[in-house]
Chains A and B, each alone.
Chain A
Amino acid sequence: MTGAQALIESLKREQVEHLFGYAGATICPAVDALSASPEIGYTLVRTEQNAGHMASGYARVSGKVGVCMVTSGPGATNLMTGIATAYMDSIPLVAVTGQVPSHLLGRDIFQEVDITGAVAPFSKHSYLVKDANEIPRIVKEAFHIASTGRPGPVLIDIPIDVQNQELSGTFVYPDQVNIRGYKPSVKGHDLQIKRVAEAIAQSKQPVILAGGGVFLAHAAEELELLAEKMSVPVVTTMMGLSLLPTEHPLNMGMIGAHGNVCANKALSKSDLLILVGSRAADRAILSPDVIQERMATIHIDVDPAEIGKNMRAAIPLVGDVKTILRQLAARKPKPLPESQEWLSHLQERRREELGRSFPQREGYVFPGRLLRVLGEKLEEDAAVCVDVGQNQIWACKHLTVRAQARFLTSGGLGTMGYALPAAIGVKVAQPRRQTVVVCGDGSFQMAMNELAAIRAAEMDVKIILFRNQVLGLVNQIQKTDYSGPFGVALDGSPDFRTIADAYGLESTTVSSEEQVDFAVEELLHTPGGRLLIVNVHPDTTTND
């Protein structure tokens, strides 16, 4: 058995069902071994970055590790943005890259790049394989590291000669991993659990701030249960959107500069902040110093390094979020008697905010209105993949989601062009799940080459494209903070309906409020991939 065959066999042992990739000279042995394993599906991307995003979308809905495989040099460097995007959102990926022959490493030969060195700052771990006999152990470790503790991307770089090397013995896949420097904590410390429970019981205006870490721990249900038992309001970060349905009586929305008024109010007026699976980065909490001076903070996270990094915590609680939430629930917490007034006050503000009316402009659609209609018509468990820019903020503010829905976006790195490939990954993992992309005309043009993957697999991906012919969020910043818009007009953009047509997708354009209902209905209920172009006035901002 060769190293390449050992790689594919190891992937099978990890129950890998699908790979996203792009072939090239130095990965050919692995691709060849893959071709002999029809049980593993394969999606050919149109640029390597999107292999990372597809694997990310796949991982986020399936709960499995997403796997991508590309060639050395430019294949590997193109993939880097995908790896960095996954790293910033703690998504479990294993990325396999081909590499030039080991004896030529360091000579700057054709398509050579030091990819393990390059990804070190934004990957959880990486391997440069020197001996094919180590492949089973390395793959086992890579999947373990990617998926346990705080998840993240792991890279395996395999020189072509190692892929072609014959294993010296028979293939043995290890049952267990033993890495002495890697032992993530699971259970929360009992004493800390007690302190947390007591602090909550004594608070009058507590609020739970839930982040993407709750999804990563598969603990959305536990979070909802605990919040309900104590009747504590919940706000989320962008990565925590859709943990609770929009209409849930305890859900006060998203915090942050682009968040809901009600959520920010809940945060600023509370006397106890319970951070769960969130690093409290700048976009969520602009001035952590101010907040920590005013209120006590409990910080629950699987990564001890997050505690005290952006915000000091009065009570740190390290461990798996799901386990900890269960430990807290096991103490049978009761609703807080004094917090009822606080909750009713917030609920009233929340109702006002959700019931707001939207401005109208002749010949254009206000994105909030369309997103609200979309939310009403989506299936209960729809996956909505949202890009970066104004479209992201609009979707965060106005899209309503129900109990089993997933809101997926690039929250940490803010990578434009994430949504479309991520949706393809979702669809590969769960072909029957209703999958919608929300993007702008800027972000769509960063990813529209992947319409090929939608066509090739005849995927039922619905795309909503807010077309305002400008890089809207930067346009907004330039108008308020700089001397004015420059370099943001999307001149020369193609006719998107023609693009859709070229890839064999149906499309519609909507330019007035009256058409919105019908257009969304048609988008969601006509089978097959489809593009809905929504004309938005270029002056419409995220604050309107």
Chain B
Amino acid sequence: MKQTISVLVENRAGVLNRITGLFSRRAFNIESLAVGITDDPAISRITIIVDNGNNVVEQVEKQLNKLVEVIKVRTLEPESLIGRELMILKVNASNKTRQDIMAICDIMGAKVDDISPTSMTLELSDTPERIDIFESMMRPFSILEVARTGVIAVQKGGGKI
């Protein structure tokens, strides 16, 4: 089962290196990793998704906690988190196919970022599962490029980590 771990770290050079180094050294598999600054510019939030085979999440949490620059670690329960990923997808589009593509974008809530006589660049922010669906719906039109951010997440309700 996939688990989402939210990590608050000091926003300093080399910190991400320590975190990814820890995952490779301890043979933990990262499914997705996203980093960005928080409301406090001295702190970054890293959202990591790992496959919880062999109950590895407990060790991941403990090992992350040992890093001096890690301030807080929290595993977010699937039912209580809001997780979103951003995808930018470039697809072949002609006069013949453009309307069909637009119809799917409407259904999925995707936005058109750019358009050219032969292509469209689309943007969707959603759960990874819905992004996968969107991507599969675009595949018949011939996808040119895909970029995904990895999931970022916070927990529902008024609490914070």
Contacts and interface: CB of A to CB of B under 8 A. Distances in A.
Interface of A: 116-117, 120-121, 124-125, 128, 145, 179-182, 303-305, 308-309
A182 B59 contact: no
B66 A303 contact: yes
B69 A305 contact: no
B59 A116 contact: no
A182 B10 CA distance: 12
Contacts of B59: 305, 308-309
B14 A305 contact: no
A148 to B, nearest CB: 11
Contact of B66 (A117, A305, A308): A305
Contacts of B18: 120
Contacts of B9: 181
A180 B62 CA distance: 16
Interface centre among A121, A125, A180, A303 (most CB of B within 10 A): A180
Contact of B67 (A116, A117, A181): A181
A305 B57 CA distance: 12
B98 to A, nearest CB: 47
A182 B64 CA distance: 11
A271 B1 CA distance: 34
A271 to B, nearest CB: 26
Nearest to A308: B58
Contact of B68 (A116, A182, A305, A309): A182
Nearest to B62: A305
A120 B17 contact: yes
Nearest to B72: A181
A422 to B, nearest CB: 26
A37 B25 CA distance: 41
A220 B154 CA distance: 46
B66 A179 contact: no
Nearest to A126: B14
Contacts of B17: 117, 120
B58 to A, nearest CB: 6
B21 A121 contact: yes
Given A180-B71, A181-B70, A305 B65 contact: yes
Contacts of A181: 9-10, 67-71
A52 B67 CA distance: 22
Nearest to A306: B62
Contacts of B10: 181
The 9 closest A-B pairs by CB, nearest first: A305-B62, A181-B71, A121-B25, A125-B68, A182-B68, A181-B70, A120-B21, A304-B62, A180-B71
Interface string B6-32: 000110001001100100010000000
B136 interface: no
B130 to A, nearest CB: 35
A309 B126 CA distance: 36
A120 B22 CA distance: 9
Contacts of B21: 120-121
Contacts of B58: 308
B142 interface: no
Contact of B63 (A125, A145, A305): A305
A445 B52 CA distance: 47
Interface string B60-91: 00110111111100000000000000000000
A182 B71 CA distance: 8
A309 B59 CA distance: 7
Contacts of A121: 21, 25
Contacts of B71: 180-181
B15 to A, nearest CB: 10
B65 A179 contact: no
Nearest to A312: B55
Contacts of A128: 14
Contacts of B68: 124-125, 145, 179, 181-182
A310 to B, nearest CB: 10
Given A145-B68, A305-B65, 7 more contacts: A116-B14, A117-B14, A121-B25, A124-B68, A180-B71, A181-B10, A305-B59
A145 B69 CA distance: 12
A208 to B, nearest CB: 24
A41 to B, nearest CB: 30
Nearest to B15: A181
Contacts of A179: 68
A128 B14 CA distance: 10
29 contacts: A116-B14, A117-B14, A117-B17, A120-B17, A120-B18, A121-B21, A121-B25, A124-B68, A128-B14, A145-B68, A179-B68, A180-B71, A181-B9, A181-B10, A181-B67, A181-B69, A181-B70, A181-B71, A182-B68, A304-B62, A305-B59, A305-B62, A305-B63, A305-B65, A305-B66, A308-B58, A308-B62, A309-B59, A309-B62
Nearest to B13: A128
A303 B18 CA distance: 19
A180 B10 CA distance: 9
A303 B66 CA distance: 8
Contacts of A124: 68
Interface in B97-137: none
A305 B28 CA distance: 14
A142 B58 CA distance: 27
A281 to B, nearest CB: 15
Nearest to B63: A305
A308 B63 CA distance: 12
A224 B64 CA distance: 34
Nearest to B70: A181
A125 B68 CA distance: 7
Interface centre among B10, B66, B67 (most CB of A within 10 A): B66
A388 to B, nearest CB: 23
